Amino acid sequence: MPSPILLLRLEGPLQSWGTRSRWDPRDTQTEPTKSGVVGLLGCALGYGMGDRRLETELDAGLRFGVRVENPGRVMEDYQTVTDFLPTADGRYRHSRVKTTTSLAKIRADPNAVPATIISPRFYLEDAAFLVALEEHP
């Protein structure tokens, strides 16, 4: 008996499928990624970020395919992000993020003036995709 297949049409004015988007710049791939679609499904199911079911039930249990219906165009956007503090290694950390480095120490630094940084972001404009997901036997 064939496995059921879920088809998702992903189309919109802007979408981003980043694979290296933890810091700046925030990139995008030219088509949806399996991890991005698994994240969307997990969110729809009420799973939180870091929920192990994302890997065990969804990622490992699904085959994934994409048909590009309209590739769209990659566009670059710039966003401003506020309340960042400089760290010892020359990077910035958001003042509301708890880290292993005590924020009190960072804030105690006389050079730790909250900064506004410009964050480059990449998106696909007017792209359309058909994604197929099949249960992995």
Q: Which domains does the chain have, with CATH numbers?
A: 5-135 (3.30.70.2660)
Model confidence at 2, pLDDT cuts 50, 70, 90, reads: confident
Least confident range from 42-51, 93-102, 120-129: namely 93-102
Averaged pLDDT for residues 97-105: 53
pTM above 0.85, yes or no: no
What is the tens place of the pLDDT at every residue in 65-81? 999 999 999 999 998 87
**In the predicted structure, residue 100 carries a pLDDT above the cut 50:** no
Number of other residues whose CB lies within 10 A of the CB of residue 7: 10
Contacts of residue 44, Cβ cutoff 8 Å, sequence gap at least 6: none
